Amino acid sequence: MGNLRKHRYPTGGRGKIETIAQRTLKQPINCSGVALHSGLDIKMTLRPGEADSGILFRRTDIAGGGAFIPARWDQVTDTRMCSTLGNEDGVTIGTVEHLMAALAGMEIDNAVIEINGPEVPIMDGSAAPFVFLIECAGVVTQDRPWRVIRILKPISVDDGDRYASLAPGNGFSVSFDIDFDSAAVSRQRISVELGNGTFKRELARARTFGFLHEVEELRAAGLARGGSLDNAVVVSGDKVLNEGGLRYDDEFVRHKALDAIGDLFLAGAPLRGHFYGQRSGHGTNNALLRALFADAEAWSYDEMLSDEIEASVDLGIWTDDRARTAAIPATA
């Protein structure tokens, strides 16, 4: 990816700087579950990844040692009801957004996701099980600088009904608006700044949701075959059918924000800026990334320094867990 910009010291700065390190999993960890749309039973393993490799999916059920698919915006082949990635051989992996959101929220830069089917298991419909897996596996720093994609100017996409934008900002923040006819959902809005465990506390447990009257139509299209009240919030008319009700009063918009975080992590690195979505879905989120990378003046690929993060924390504008991780010494 182009536009690499390294931060420089101000005149009179120190002769040595601290560059924040990339992170990966400490050890492999396994899980299994049903796939939301295909209904298949899936086994998945999260493994440590090499520095600078990003997030990489590997289909272990494909002959010849498996098939690899980078988790990137330009590998997205379908956005109906989920984000699906594909490679040049036509091998796909679907429903990646919840896992990608967990990896982004837990600040995992590099990982290999081995999976024996065409879809990430839905688990309970949220990102919380994946957060738990990452915590169980543990996290280690790597001997390479942490890179982020900094938004340099506003970019937006608008199809009349759905809107999404990215704008410059410190850290990474997300705002989202939804509006549904059902009184169970209605109008909801959320605005959160990611960092210091915000993703785990505020968003990770928010589940995917759907409407009962749409189920037959989705299944006729080959979707939602593994969906149930165990892995989705189901709304019928103005009522939530799940026995335990909602996990948050505004669980619906929190999940839309979670989806956006997962979709945006397909940028290939963490974003530094502000995202706003209005009824935005997977297709709009991907279109936004395509618009961003089509404009070379809208972004830069930066290596982050510990003193920049610490200064931002002092100003109250950036509270990132990386401020407390091990750093890589680097010469100016």
Per-residue pLDDT of the chain (332 residues; tens, 9 = 90+): 445 444 433 333 434 556 789 999 999 999 999 999 889 999 999 999 999 999 999 999 998 778 999 999 999 999 988 999 999 999 999 999 999 999 999 999 999 999 999 999 999 999 999 999 999 999 999 999 999 999 999 999 998 899 999 999 989 999 999 999 899 999 999 999 999 899 999 999 999 999 988 877 877 777 778 889 999 999 998 999 999 999 999 999 999 999 999 999 999 999 999 999 999 999 999 999 999 999 999 999 998 876 555 444 433 333 444 443 444 544 33
Using the Cα atoms of residue 220, residue 223, residue 227 and residue 233 in order, give the sign of their dihedral.
negative
Closest alpha carbon to 25 in 50, 10, 56, 47: 47
Helix ranges restricted to H, 178-271? 198, 215-220, 251-264
Fold of 4-331: lpxc deacetylase, domain 1 (3.30.1700)
Active site residues: 282
Burial class (CB in 10 A: 0-12, 13-18, 19+), 160: exposed
Q: Which residues lie below 8 Å from residue 302, measured CB to CB, with a gap of 6+?
A: 4, 5, 6, 7, 147, 148, 149, 150, 272
pLDDT, tens digit, for every residue of 182-238? 999 999 999 999 998 999 999 999 999 999 888 778 777 777 788 899 999 999 989
Query: Beta 92-93 vs 233-236: how paired, if at all?
Result: unpaired
pLDDT of residue 17: 52
Q: What six digits make up the tokens of 55?
A: 């997030």
Closest alpha carbon to 82 in 312, 329, 286: 286
Question: What is the C-alpha separation between 223 and 234, in angstroms, rounded?
Answer: 15
